[in-house]
Amino acid sequence: MNKRDSIAPQPILLRDYVVPAFLLDRVDLTFELDETSTRVSSRLVLHRNPDHPVSDADLVLDGHELMLESVLLDGEPMSTDRYDVDDESLTIKGLGESAILEITTRIEPQKNTSLMGLYKSNGNFFTQCEAEGFRKITYYLDRPDVMTRFTTTIIADRSKYPVLLSNGNRVGEGQYDRNRHWVKWVDPFKKPSYLFALVAGKLSCLQDSFTTRSGRKVALEIYVEPQDLEKCHHAMESVKRSMKWDEDVYGLEYDLDSYMIVAVSDFNMGAMENKGLNIFNTKYVLARPETATDADYMGVEAVIAHEYFHNWTGNRVTCRDWFQLSLKEGLTVFRDQEFTADMTSRAVKRIDDVRTLRTAQFAEDASPMAHPVRPDSYIEINNFYTVTIYEKGAEVVRMYHTLLGAEGYRKGIDLYFKRHDGQAVTCDDFAAAMGDANGFDFTQFKRWYSQAGTPVVKVVSQFDAANQTYTLDISQTCPPTPGQPEKLPFHIPIALGLLDAAGAEIPLQLAGEASLQGTTRVLQLTEASQRFVFTGISAQPTPSLLRGFSAPVKLDYPWTRQELAFLMAHDSDSFCRWEASHTLIREVLLELIAAARASETLSLPGELVDAMRRALLDEAADPALIALMFTLPAETYLADQVDEIHPDAIRTAREYLRVALAKALRSEFKHTYARFCGATQAYRYAAVDIAKRALKNVCLGYLTSLDEPAFIELAQTQFQQANNMTDSQAALAALVELPQGATALADFANRWQDDPLVMNKWFTLQAMDKRADALDRVRALQQHPAFQITNPNKVYALLATFCSSNLAGFHRADGAGYAFAAEQILVLDKLNPQVASRLARSFNRWKKLEPTRRAQAKTALEKLAAHADLSRDVFEIISKNLA
Ligand code: TRP
Ligand code: ZN
């Protein structure tokens, strides 16, 4: 019988939520860690939940891939006819008002390649429990609204596992038989199981401390493999900066005596906020100038901040159910974005975040996987750790901030903690706190949580010289998404300004207002269409719209190229200056793509060259901003801007523009490169230096695309002499597709073969190769000794990069890319469904492909769908793609 027909995975629905039948007073866990099997004993003190609708409901404990050894009820062994065990659960019938259950199970962490639950990496033990990994450790009420106090005793071989860690405070330790030792931990805070963590192994520790503003001294500890100890200083500084910032900006202090971070190289995502014991992908801890780029340094700082901030937004106040995931993730991303903005450059950070949102989240919103910030159904929750939940969720929180102002937002946050500290709550509770603290009605605003899709905001302007008015007619629409054919209007904050002919800001007054009210205004669009009239406008202005990207929407306004060039030069809002360049470049690229498809001659518009030249030569401007202006939009982003995707035309157009700009601005690039070339001699992680390196390396990229020996030599020299990875990687990237690239790649691999994080960069660069044989290169690289299919970072660096970012390489006309992806997805699905499912998303654009490729992709998807034993993770992606 076909498994799919009989038990196709069923969706879980938000509307089916019921409170748990039982609650926990406490849980005591004992782990006996061993090489062949690990024994987990748990003692659960339970009582019936008076709020549950059924007074004699069964106790259903979640459990998966466990070997049950024994069950004791109130100290007595239970006979096997009093409980049922299946693949997913342990069900106990006929319990009274309260019970003490002692359950012993065995697991085999050394065989666990899914990296969920308890697993081994480089000989050490780690856990990952969010979202539903705890059920792979022991039978439990594995849902976030069951919160309790945990104690954890770990017993393990003293030589192999000298370090034994869990959540909370270390309250005891001692020796045991057979060269074993034990450590006992008590976590004083109630928490759901997804925040449980355990680590055991040979790890070195970097120690420091932080004194909170109320004067408590917190021990800070970062645990890594011994060879990495010297790469932890930046992470440690980031922890201290995060702790200080959360006190200053949110009034939030740390609450335990110690804060531990452990780095592990096998990890499905970035990091995990387990109470008092965060576990991190090494990628977000380890950094030193020779091995980490500026982007890596920023990544470490942002992820450290993110996980630290979760201690309040996630742990102290957690989610009632997984549909509310954005309650903690969207809010915490917004917090880490603002932290980074305060630590580095606000404008650059905003542009970076908007680029991610547009490239990844807008794409998701337009795909078969589109879902609201608060989904109402899922098959596998692991599939919902998405850019929509995280990044769009952060935009939603940012809009509260924009609508309420910094003070009003803080009032709302204070009320949220006052009401809900220690609770598991919903997005509605968050909105209610924001609204109640400010007397603001967020009823309509909450549609941002329930309606998927990216709204389109269309603006039509009209200047009336006789009446000295400037009228904006603003309307909104939102395309249909799966299950949501029609949308209601969103509540959209639109920040804007108007520039006069000299580029100066015009003070603004709306019809009906008594006075001028500043130069940037936040309009609130709540209707399908609305009119806004500015008075006292004496000459045709240039509108600067959606300042700071005040809402996650697509803006439709018919700027002329002259106006865009004018905004690039004059807008006081840095985001909008960059945005004008982006709009101009996008329009040019869309014309070039159309021309490439029609096999017409491509040409570079003079307005673009002039505007870009002016930007490049503006020595007063922030070099980081100029670097971003010259960073062309990704091929995948362009694919989302056209009605039918012709990958080769997109690549041709984008490469043409790159080389044409290089030719047109050859001497300016050369001059700018020289200007910054020696400017950052001794490496410093500081925004000013990062900006200079960024612009210098952008120039190098353009110059080498000219294929002139002098510029290739420039790249080679930079590659050989670089004292930091930013410059080294940029030079390698500039060389990689040239005949000289092979030697550079070999030198790089030779130097860094023992550093897995650096080798990831080497794989990624080659996965992005634009030459026709990219797929063959990727296949060959899978045989490289540094590649391991069981390591998620390696799979992301090589396979996911190729399939999801190398547009023309993956979408080869012959379908070989699709066949390759399908083959890899099946291999990975047996090892690690979460990673396999991420790779499966590479097909998300398939319906917009030109007919030949569309047919090839469909065939590959259908072949995958025919496999009866897909994980829920991959099944959900494939079935939604085919729906
Ligand atoms: N909650 C984590 C964060 O936002 C991410 C996370 C969720 C995760 N599930 C995971 C990390 C599984 C690793 C594996 O930072
Ligand atoms: Zn998070």
Instruction: State residue 678's pLDDT score.
Output: 82
- Residue in 121, 130, 332 to alter for ligand 1 test, most ligand atoms within 8 A of Cβ: 130
Q: For residue 390, what are the CA distances in angstroms to 34, 140, 144, 462, 555?
A: 37, 28, 18, 38, 22
Instruction: State residue 6's pLDDT score.
Output: 53
Burial zone of 696 (CB within 10 Å; 0-12 exposed, 13-18 middle, 19+ buried): buried
Q: Whose CA is nearest to atom 6 of ligand 1?
A: 272
Q: Whose CA is nearest to atom 11 of ligand 1?
A: 269
pLDDT at 3 over 50: no
Report d(CA 237, CA 723) in Å as an integer.
22
Question: How many A from CA of 72 to the centre of ligand 2?
Answer: 37
Give the tens place of pLDDT for each residue, 92-120: 999 999 999 999 999 999 999 999 999 99
- Residue in 193, 262, 264, 272 to alter for ligand 1 test, most ligand atoms within 8 A of Cβ: 272
Report d(CA 127, CA 194) in Å as an integer.
10
Coil, strand, or helix at residue 221?
strand
- Point out the ligand 1 atom lying closest to the alpha carbon of residue 306: 15
The residue-averaged pLDDT of 170-191 equals 98
Instruction: State residue 1's pLDDT score.
Output: 37
pLDDT confidence of 878, banded at 50, 70, 90?
Answer: very high
Question: How many A from CA of 524 to the centre of ligand 2?
Answer: 30
Q: Residues lining ligand 1, judged by CB closer than 6 Å?
A: 128, 130-131, 267-273, 306-307, 329, 385
- Point out the ligand 1 atom lying closest to the alpha carbon of residue 130: 9
- Point out the ligand 1 atom lying closest to the alpha carbon of residue 307: 15
CA angle 656, 660, 663 (to 5 degrees): 145
Q: Whose CA is nearest to atom 3 of ligand 1?
A: 272
**What amino acid is encoded at 431 in this protein?**
A
Contact 625, 582 (CB under 8 A): no
Instruction: Write out the DSSP string of 251-318.
Output: -----SSEEEEEEESS-SSSEE--TTEEEEEGGGT---TTT--HHHHHHHHHHHHHHHHTTTBTTTBE
Report d(CA 430, CA 436) in Å as an integer.
10
Question: How many A from CA of 879 to the centre of ligand 2?
Answer: 27
Is 862 catalytic? The answer is no
Q: Whose CA is nearest to atom 9 of ligand 1?
A: 130
Report d(CA 558, CA 566) in Å as an integer.
14
Give the tens place of pLDDT for each residue, 535-579: 999 999 999 999 999 999 999 999 999 999 999 999 999 999 999
Contact 110, 120 (CB under 8 A): yes
- Point out the ligand 1 atom lying closest to the alpha carbon of residue 314: 1
Burial zone of 212 (CB within 10 Å; 0-12 exposed, 13-18 middle, 19+ buried): middle
Q: Which ligand is nearest to the CA of 313?
A: 2
Give the tens place of pLDDT for each residue, 812-865: 999 999 999 999 999 999 999 999 999 999 999 999 999 999 999 999 999 999
Q: Provide the 10 A C-beta neighbour count for residue 848.
A: 16
pLDDT at 760 over 90: yes
The residue-averaged pLDDT of 726-746 equals 98
Give the tens place of pLDDT for each residue, 580-639: 999 999 999 999 999 999 999 999 999 999 999 999 999 999 999 999 999 999 999 999
Q: Which residues pair with 61 in a beta bridge?
A: 90
Give the tens place of pLDDT for each residue, 183-196: 999 999 999 999 99
Question: How many A from CA of 271 to the centre of ligand 2?
Answer: 8
Question: How many A from CA of 328 to the centre of ligand 2?
Answer: 7
Q: Whose CA is nearest to atom 7 of ligand 1?
A: 130
Q: Whose CA is nearest to atom 10 of ligand 1?
A: 130
Q: Which domains does the chain have, with CATH numbers?
A: 14-202 (2.60.40.1730), 318-450 (1.10.390.10), 753-883 (1.25.50.10)
pLDDT at 691 over 90: yes
Instruction: State residue 7's pLDDT score.
Output: 72
- Point out the ligand 1 atom lying closest to the alpha carbon of residue 390: 4
Report d(CA 509, CA 516) in Å as an integer.
5
- Residue in 385, 389, 832 to alter for ligand 1 test, most ligand atoms within 8 A of Cβ: 385
**What amino acid is encoded at 629 in this protein?**
M
Q: Which ligand is nearest to the CA of 274?
A: 1
Selection from 365, 271, 389 nearest residue 640 by Cα: 365
Question: How many A from CA of 791 to the centre of ligand 1?
Answer: 16
- Residue in 127, 128, 303, 333 to alter for ligand 1 test, most ligand atoms within 8 A of Cβ: 128
**What is the separation of C-alpha 458 from the centre of its chain, rounded to a whole number of angstroms?**
29
Question: How many A from CA of 329 to the centre of ligand 1?
Answer: 10
| pLDDT, averaged across the chain | 97
360-390 b/e with 16+ CB inside 10 Å = b?
bbbbbbbbbbbbbbbbbebbbbbbbbbbbbb
Coil, strand, or helix at residue 844?
helix
Q: Helices 606-617 and 561-570 sit at what angle, rounded to 10 degrees?
A: 0
pLDDT at 4 over 80: no
Query: Which residue in 32, 102, 307, 655 is the catalytic one?
Result: 307
Give the tens place of pLDDT for each residue, 645-688: 999 999 999 999 999 999 999 999 999 999 999 877 789 999 99
Q: Which residues pair with 529 in a beta bridge?
A: 475
Return all residues near 699 (Cβ < 8 A) that are at least 6 apart: 669, 670, 672, 673, 676
